[in-house]
Amino acid sequence: MAPSPPFASSDADNPRAFSERGFIGRLNRMSQVHDTSVIDRLLEPFGRALTPAMARALVDLRAPSEDQDRIDELAEKCNEGSLSAEERAEYEDYIRVIHFLGIVQAKARAILAREPGQP
């Protein structure tokens, strides 16, 4: 059996996602504050190369439920101050990926906003 991809592209695969709700949404909003970061600037050519279809696929990326559950668990432990060193490293890895995806998805949303007939 092939391993599942790290991020599903359908809400049917996981209704909880890297979305605008909850902890992940707060992280995405925080990443938008630093829109002039190095990674944002380095991804600018990537954003310009996105087609509308690719942009829609990126905006629809969702974390598998087991990863979202783990993120929620680590976030709670972090808020309680009870993360082990290993858990903190894992949590920071998730945060880096979420930050990266937030920037990529913001670029994708900008492409879609320029599409005729898009809300």
Q: What is the chain's pLDDT, residue by residue, as a tens digit (119 residues)?
A: 443 444 444 433 343 444 444 455 555 555 554 445 787 788 888 888 899 999 999 999 988 999 999 999 999 999 999 999 999 999 999 999 988 888 899 989 989 998 876 55
3-state helix, strand, coil in the chain (%, to 5): 65, 0, 35
Nearest C-alpha neighbor of 52 from the set 115, 2, 119 = 115
Please report the pLDDT score of residue 8 as a whole number.
41
0.85 surpassed by pTM = no
